[in-house]
Structure formats: C-alpha cells, structure tokens
Amino acid sequence: MRSDAVKKGPSRAPNRSLFHALGRTEEELQRPLIGIVNSFNEVVPGHMHLDKIVEAVKTGVLMAGGTPMEFPAIAVCDGIAMGHVGMHYSLPTRELIADSTEAMALAHQFDALVMIPNCDKNVPGLLMAAARVNIPTIFVSGGPMLAGRVNGNKTSLSSMFEAVGAHSAGTMTDEELEEFANSVCPTCGSCSGMYTANSMNCLTEAIGMGLKGNGTIPAVYSERIRLAKRAGMQIMELLKKDIRPRDIMTKEAFENALTVDMALGCSTNTMLHIPAIAYEAGIEIDLDIANEISARTPNLCHLAPAGPVYMEDLNEAGGVYAVMKELTKKNLLHTDLITVTGKTIGENIESANNLNNEVIRPIDNPYSETGGIAVLKGNIAPDTCVVKRSAVAPEMLVHEGPARVFDSEDDAIAAIYGGKIEDGDVVVIRYEGPKGGPGMREMLNPTSAIQGIGKGSTVALITDGRFSGASRGASIGHVSPEAAVGGPIALIEEGDIIQIDINNNTLNAKVSDEELKERRKKWNPKEPKIKTGYLRRYASMVSSANKGAILMVPEEK
C-alpha cells in the first residue's frame, strides 16, 4: 500500500507514534488510509451540511475495510462574494484548493481519496487535484438546493439578483424585494438552477468521476446520505482494482463532458474549468472543439436561468444518466470508457430512462439542434469568447449596436442603474480578466440589472471577465486576449458598432484593422486593481481564459 511509506517498518516508528497520538490503533493502521477531503464551512449554504455527508462517507469506508482520515478544503460563496472586492478572490481559490489538496494527499501518502465538494470552484479545484495526484479517487457532492417559491412559483438565486434590478427600476417594492430575499434560497445545497456548481457536479457523472445522482439528488434528501455511503464503499473497490483518475479522465471522457454540457445548457464557466482539469491530466483541450461538439449536440434542457425548471426537476426526470441515454440514441457519446462505478459509461446508463419529456426533451425534439454554449471569435476576440446560447433571447442571437465602454464592473452597474443604457446598446466591460481583474470577476450583477430593468432582449454585454451560471441574456464573456495584455477589447471606443452573430460564432467591431493599429499605438497598460498578496502572484502567473485561466510557470507561457 502507498501508505506503508508512513506506517510500516522500524524506520517508520516515529511516524506511527504520531498516528497513535491521533488515537489510531494498530488495527486501523493495518488498513488502507483513505483521505476524506471535506469542503465544509459555515459560510457557504452549499457546504453547511457537508459534515453529514462526510460522516456517511466515513461509514462507507469503514464498512468496506478502510481507515478514513478527514482534512479540509476551503470554499468561497460566489453569491456572497458577488458585486464587491470579494469576487476577485473566487476563481483564484480553484488553484488554492488544487494545490493544498495535492500537498495534503502526497505529504501523508494516502492510498485513495474521497472528494466532497459542492460549490463553484471546489468541484473543478478538486478534479484538478485528482488528476494531478492520480491515486484512486471518487467524488460525492453535497447536492443542489431545492427551488424557492414566491407567490406560488418556483424561483432561485438568479431571480433574486434580477429582483434587485426590478426594484431599481421602480417595478418592485421594498416589501416584495425582502419577500424574495427570504424565499429564493430555502435550503442548504448548491443554488437550485443550472449554475456553475450544479453544472460541474453533473459533469462529474458525465466524465465518470461520480456515482449516479451525484449532480442532481437534492441536498436535503436522505438519498444523498445513502449515495455518500456508497461512495465510501466504492473507493475501496477502486483501490482494489487500482482504477485511477487518469484512467477515467481521458480525452474521450472530456469530449463526453463537453457533449453533456451542451445538452444540459451548463454554465459558461465550464469553458474555464474543463480545459484546466484536462491540463492537469496531461490533455490539451482547444476550445474550438466546443463548437464542433455543439454543432452535433442538441440542447435538451432549459433549466434556470434558461427556463422555469430546476435541479430537483432534472433529478425526478431521470438525472444526468437519462440525458446521456438520450444522447446515445444518436451515438454522441463514447460509451466504452471506464468510470468510478468500475463499469463503463454504456453499462452505467443502460437502464436509465427519461421520465419527463418536458424537463429532458427527447433527442428528436430538442430545444435546438445545437448545444447550449457557443464559442465566438472575431476582431474583438481573436482567440475566443463564450456565451450561454441556450439562455439568449432569440431576437438577440444576431445583434448590432453601439458600444458603451466601461473599464470596471462597478462603473457599468452605476450606468445601468442610472438609466444611461438604451435599447440596442452593447455594454463592454473590460480590465476584468484573469490578469486585469485580477481574478476574472463574475458579472452577475450587471447581467441581472439589465434583465431586471426589462432590457434583457434589447441590450447585450461583452466582457473579458466571466459570468455566473445564473446570468442569462446576450452575455458574452471570457474575451481573449484580455484587455490587460493588450487584447483588442482594450481598443474599443465609445460608440463603435459591435456586431454579434451567435448563430455564426462571430463577434466583431466595425472598425478597420488600420484604425485598430492606430489606436494600439496610443494604448497604455493599466495596473491591476489589486497589487498585493495572493492576487499579485496570481496575476503574474495566470494564463488567458481560453486556456482555462490556469497558473503557468514562465517556461510554459
């Protein structure tokens, strides 16, 4: 066993003395040591109940003959961090989570790992760590929140942010706003729409690193506790068979993840996280492949914010496996890939059924013939940018309008709430990328403000920052290269005509190459908004968004 390096033989007597100081018995040390990575804290609603998930996992490990040993991973609540300096720190925690988990796993020579994340950066951060450490690993998340209810209608966090816009526009009273605040997030769990956390938890099933239901069983269901016990037991099988993350997370598995992503209509943040996880597995994912996969993958689901259904509805309709089963009807998945079940994708989904054709459209009656995310290119984004096509109003799929240029999210929000944005405008928010932010803030506040004031079908927004999975509308993010490194978005001027054609995957300014060259001569870089601490180091090492915003050493750049 790998853990023999810290517990076997006379030379390891000092190490054993420290295990004994922990209260560990000789019998426990004879068993495999299983690291339990617990993302619990009392700050994030999606994590407040993970102590119960952890205890269930430990029970499963003990039942199957292992010795569980718990250690923590940090987590930021994106909703609480939204709209202020805190959001600069959200995406960068992904690297902290991966690095600290690697350090703990290798410093203590665990034989296997059970990862227990739930929210936005924990799932990809721990998947990155799993690929990097490459010892048998399984994922079991905390599960999604139940939908809230306001005036008898299901609702969620995205509705809350849009309510702020409605309140600003004078169409919602103070009392109605507070009713939303008290009702939209009724339970523990990751917020109830197809936002980033739930997107990534669903993709753990698609990629083969989580058991059936990991992405969709609600946090408050006892079924989630049973799932955790099964995961604890299953890690011992993975250890016995020596099935490791890189055996599972192959290039074909990432193609499966992208395909399921397109069918579900996941958050655009998956376009950051999938390349970053693949990088840790030694696989390069070029975002151009996303459009290739999207072109052949129908969009089967319109979960909030794209539509009026929620994670609990997807779970009742058959979950991720039912979506995957629909996709196999057109041979869109690699079904012969091994997974943490010890079986192949095809074996896993063999008995799956679509139980609600309104929640999961049959593959011959999709919402659209193409996937939920589109990657665009053009003279504003020569590398790439991304949009959640499934959450764009049909009339905004092709749009042309004047640029309204802002060098920070805060300035843009002030203009939106100040009534300075007109129908047809294209709001441009720049210097919010991985380096320029630093940290690539989410733009849920401005997108929600646009929706809340009733301009979601007339105003577009483009940024080198990113969006929450709760954002909807013609919200185009991850513009690469970013403004901070001199990307063309830095050269856009107030009033330039912006041409958006999501159907043809293009984003351009009606500005000649010659004019852009002249503007570049006058351009001067801006200092990052935060120049101290972790974010100083992060800004100096982070890659472009189209490469996953990963940290790269100089020789890799």
Q: How many CB atoms sit inside 10 A of residue 396's CB?
A: 18
Q: What pairs with residue 398 in β-bridges? A: 501
* Owner of token pair 């890690």: 235
Calpha distance 360→364 (Å, rounded): 11
d(CA 244, CA 102): 15
Tell which residue, 533, 534, 493, has the closest CA to residue 511.
Answer: 493
Candidates 156, 159, 267, 468; catalytic one: 468
| Rounded Cα gap, residues 18 and 2, in angstroms | 18
| Cα–Cα separations (whole angstroms), residue 51 to 61, 221, 428 | 15, 15, 42
Length of the chain: 557
- In this structure, the number of other CB atoms found within 10 A of the CB of residue 141 comes to 37
DSSP E strands, 78-219 = 112-116, 137-139, 148-150, 153-155
Task: Spell out the residues 6+ positions from residue 358 whose beta carbon is closer than 8 angstroms to its own.
Answer: 309
Which residues, 6+ apart, have CB-to-CB distance to 489 below 8 Å?
Answer: 380, 381, 428, 430, 462, 464, 479, 482, 483
Of the CA atoms within 13 Å of residue 427, those in its CB half-sphere come to: 33
Q: How far apart are CA 113 and CA 137, in angstroms?
A: 5
**Whole-number Å distance between alpha carbons of 410 and 525:** 19
Exposure string for 52-64, b = 16+ CB within 10 A, e = fewer? bbbbbbbbbbbeb
Instruction: Classify 508 as helix, strand or coil.
Output: strand
Q: How far apart are the C-alpha atoms of 452 and 182, rounded to whole Å? A: 18
List, in sequence order, every residue forming a beta bridge with 400; answer none if it has no partner. 499
Active site residue 159: no
Just list the catalytic residues. Answer: 468
